[in-house]
Chains A and B, each alone.
Chain A
Amino acid sequence: MAEEKKLFKVKIDNISVEVEPGTTILNAARTIGGDVVPPAMCYYSKLQGSGGKCRTCLVKVTKGSEADPRPMPKLVASCRTTVMDGMEVANITSPEVQEARKGVVEFLLLNHPLDCPVCDQAGECDLQNLSYEHGAEATRYEFKRRTFEKIDIGDKIQLHMTRCILCYRCVFTADQLTEKREHGILGRGDASEISTYIHQSLDNNFIGNVIDVCPVGALTDKTFRFKNRVWFLKPVDAHRDCNDPKCCGKTVLWMRGDEVFRVTARKDKYGEVENFICDTCRFDKKEKSDWIIEGPRKIDRHSVISQGHYVNTVKPKDPLVEVLDGRQPKLLFDIHTTSEVNRPEIDLSRIDGPAHSDDFNK
């Protein structure tokens, strides 16, 4: 009989959870979910060796383990620190962690151009979310932000080096998914940049995934560039039979009406793709007829992408029903008797794009 695997007991922000040995603190926190999950800008669970660089996931280990209860002297990167039995971790309960994280966000935004209004990533950008949650309202940086010489890395992928936070995710992606990595980090310190050696274009059937793994708008889809804002599009789950054996063919189409604006892989709630897709699916299949539509993609309702989409929300409990106890409220004035616009039978979420008066005159 196989010996039962011993699970490690970990306490994160006073919430106990049992995880397998070898799990990182971050993944243990993800099994709990909710607010205790530290943000991660560089860690990507599907990429080996990623993590540890951005320092946003710093947590405080208040108790090392059952055997050695000493706290760890420094804040540790939760994405690369494995749990020990009896470990106690403070994330949102530690002011020190919050302070350090605020500092890291400030550092990440220090040289970031904050060109969100013209950035294709806006609305689905990890750095945007992170700075809304943990950032300061203004920068204390008084100097010129750094810029880079622009390089062209091909007709499918656009590189904006100024937006890059050097998470190394795209480097790992190219290493692990493609046959040959053509880009990497050149230079050192704050002059280091994602670049290709003696300007080559990134050309490989899986290289498009660097767009999905990029937490910011440094690598964006050139075929979608400036075409639309993501929150005006409707994400739709779709699939097709892809010839590439490594590609699952399961994607999200970003549509408006019958027009497919872009194709991405399906991302989970931590912004990580569920399965990588090939470049044929991503860049070349831009017709609705190429795809078998499964249905609308569930988007977290806090995301700007879900604005105007009121499908699958849980309505708060209405206390009035209980208070009235079966009695009907006396109706003083029914708005529908006078209004032509407010039509309850029209589901606004079913309207493609922004609502127009024509939608009400049908």
Chain B
Amino acid sequence: MGRKLLLDKAHIEGIRYYDTYRANGGYAAAEKALKSMGPEAVVEEVKKSGLRGRGGAGFPTGLKWSFIAKPEGVPRYLVCNADESEPGTFKDRYLMEFIPHLLVEGLLISSFALGANRAYIYIRGEYAWIPDILEQAIAEAKNKGWLGKNILGTGYDLEIFVQRGAGAYICGEETALLESLEGKRGNPRIKPPFPAVKGLWGCPTVVNNVETIAAVVPIVNIGGDEYIKFGIGKSTGTKLISACGNINKPGVYEIEMNISVEEFIYSDEYCGGIKGGKRLKACIPGGSSVPVLPANLLLKTAKGETRMMTYESLNDGGFATGSMLGSGGFIVMDEDQCIVRNTLTFARFYHHESCGQCSPCREGTGWMKKVLHNIEYGKGKMSDIDLLWDIQRKIEGNTICPLGDAAAWPVAAAIRHFRDEFEWHVTHPDEALTRNFGLAHYADPLPAPAPAAV
């Protein structure tokens, strides 16, 4: 059994409520941080822990916190990004639904460390029932003196507010989230200035993912030095992975970042293998935005090493032969899945969710969707594949926010690794409507890498 830090008590009945949570060691970290550590010490612990942002980009949290500007007389804000809209990702929902107090405690510690007196939880509109759970938890915590004025007699005040989004994917981008939180149209801002300098209402703001904030609790509990012993290298601690797709046991798993991808998919402790004994064709290891990998590149890197569930190992080989851990939305596809159709689904999603502010993303995502639609429905041309490649290349990196990149990467990776399947769709338009390309050679072992020239 892998060790757990976040979900170790999630199975206890009634952990959603304050009394049970407190009886099981809850708010001990908050007590420790507020009474005996002080803000700087908490930031120091988080830095020491090597905690990386769990929202997708993997930016070191301690570093992010240390960037926050601290001008006199200007309030600071902590915003918790619970706008979890990435297809395939549903880990934050689990956390908020089952142990909301973990998030509240994490927010308390983080806000204390940052010197913020107001924290906001921006939650996606589709999670219609979760704000009630969170608000109940916040009310309970406030009743018991963990929120409000003069918490634990330390003179520190904190209020937490839950704000519902209106169901836009783009509002998961931190600056678009801030715009939306201010009551404006959810258009991403042009950076710089970064939120750490000018965020919510022009004040220094830190935006963190739900899981990142929750992970602060165990870090304070066990200390940064102990936390770093979880995981490998720079991928410290545990990560929530929301596994879905063609697997026997879809769900949210907390993994220590020292297991291999193969173990994660096939072991009974986690996904329990591919459904119906089928063979693995491809996998998107970090939510819909990250590049899809064929089976042969998923289990072993291009260098022939075993691929691990870590930030570094999944990124091994860059985008040419690697992918990203991303937000942890682990989508497994078996041999019966069609990559073209899957890519079309994603392209449609990004087209629908583009905010329309900058031209490459506004026009390009729709174009990609239409071209992919043609290919999928047997009206494609061979030149369409190159056209798609060219479109994605002109979107990537040229947009205001990462949504453009997120729209471009899945298409790029699909063409890079599954070009045969695209070509088959073009050359066999009628057959493509009735059957799938199948596994083909996508699980064949890779040729051994050429020995390095001496």
Residues of B within 8 A of A54 (CB): 358-359
Q: Say yes or no: is A47 at the interface (Cβ < 8 Å to chain B).
A: no
Residues of A within 8 A of B393 (CB): 103
Considering residues B359, B365, B393, which has the most beta carbons from chain A within 10 angstroms of its beta carbon?
B359
> In whole Å, how far is A23's beta carbon from the nearest beta carbon of chain B?
15
Partner-contacting stretch, out of A104-112, A195-203, A250-258, A268-276: A104-112
Cross-chain contact B362 with A166 (CB below 8 angstroms): yes
Cross-chain contact B394 with A185 (CB below 8 angstroms): no
Residues of A within 8 A of B399 (CB): 55
> In whole Å, how far is A188's beta carbon from the nearest beta carbon of chain B?
6
Q: Say yes or no: is B223 at the interface (Cβ < 8 Å to chain A).
A: no
Q: Say yes or no: is A192 at the interface (Cβ < 8 Å to chain B).
A: yes
Cross-chain contact B168 with A110 (CB below 8 angstroms): no
Residues of A within 8 A of B387 (CB): 140
Q: Say yes or no: is A143 at the interface (Cβ < 8 Å to chain B).
A: yes
Cross-chain contact B356 with A52 (CB below 8 angstroms): no
Q: Say yes or no: is A295 at the interface (Cβ < 8 Å to chain B).
A: no
Residues of A within 8 A of B362 (CB): 107, 166, 189-190, 192
Residues of B within 8 A of A305 (CB): none
Q: Report the count of interface residues on B (CB-CB < 8 A).
A: 28
Cross-chain contact B398 with A189 (CB below 8 angstroms): no
Residues of B within 8 A of A53 (CB): 357-359, 400
For the complex, give the distance between the alpha carbons of A75 and B396 in Å. 10
From B168, B357, B398, B400, contact of A100 by CB (8 A): B398
Cross-chain contact A192 with B398 (CB below 8 angstroms): no
For the complex, give the distance between the alpha carbons of A168 and B398 in Å. 18
B residues 319-361 with Cβ under 8 Å of A?
351-360
Residues of B within 8 A of A104 (CB): 359-360, 394, 398
Q: Say yes or no: is B62 at the interface (Cβ < 8 Å to chain A).
A: no
Considering residues B357, B365, B370, which has the most beta carbons from chain A within 10 angstroms of its beta carbon?
B357
A-contact 0/1 string along B389-405, CB 8 Å cutoff: 00001100111100000
Instruction: Please give me the residue from chain A that is nearest to B394 by CB atom.
Output: A103
Q: Report the count of interface residues on A (CB-CB < 8 A).
A: 33
> In whole Å, how far is A274's beta carbon from the nearest beta carbon of chain B?
26
Given contacts A103-B394, A190-B354, contact A80 B190 (CB under 8 A): yes
Residues of A within 8 A of B355 (CB): 188-189, 192
Cross-chain contact B356 with A58 (CB below 8 angstroms): no
Residues of A within 8 A of B32 (CB): none
Q: Say yes or no: is A191 at the interface (Cβ < 8 Å to chain B).
A: yes
A-B contact count (CB 8 A): 88
> In whole Å, how far is A40's beta carbon from the nearest beta carbon of chain B?
13
B-contact 0/1 string along A96-137, CB 8 Å cutoff: 000110011011101100000000000000000000000000
Q: Say yes or no: is B185 at the interface (Cβ < 8 Å to chain A).
A: yes
Residues of B within 8 A of A52 (CB): 190, 358, 400
From A58, A74, A108, A189, contact of B365 by CB (8 A): A189
Residues of B within 8 A of A143 (CB): 367, 370
Instruction: Please give me the residue from chain B that is nearest to A101 by CB atom.
Output: B398
Residues of A within 8 A of B364 (CB): 107
Cross-chain contact A192 with B360 (CB below 8 angstroms): no
Residues of A within 8 A of B360 (CB): 55, 103-104, 107
B-contact 0/1 string along A329-344, CB 8 Å cutoff: 0000000000000000
Q: Say yes or no: is B366 at the interface (Cβ < 8 Å to chain A).
A: yes
B-contact 0/1 string along A77-97, CB 8 Å cutoff: 100100000000000000000
Q: Say yes or no: is B19 at the interface (Cβ < 8 Å to chain A).
A: no
Residues of A within 8 A of B400 (CB): 52-53, 55, 77
Instruction: Please give me the residue from chain A that is nearest to B396 by CB atom.
Output: A74
Binding site for B on A (CB under 8 A): 51-55, 58, 74-75, 77, 80, 99-100, 103-104, 106-108, 110-111, 140-141, 143, 165-166, 168, 184-185, 187-192
List 13 contacting pairs A-B, 8 Å CB cutoff, sorted by A.
A52-B400, A54-B359, A55-B400, A77-B190, A111-B363, A165-B359, A166-B362, A184-B185, A188-B170, A189-B351, A189-B365, A190-B365, A192-B362
Binding site for A on B (CB under 8 A): 168, 170, 185, 190, 351-360, 362-367, 370, 387, 393-394, 397-400
Q: Which 7 A-B pairs have the closest CB atoms?
A: A103-B394, A192-B356, A52-B190, A189-B354, A107-B363, A110-B363, A189-B356
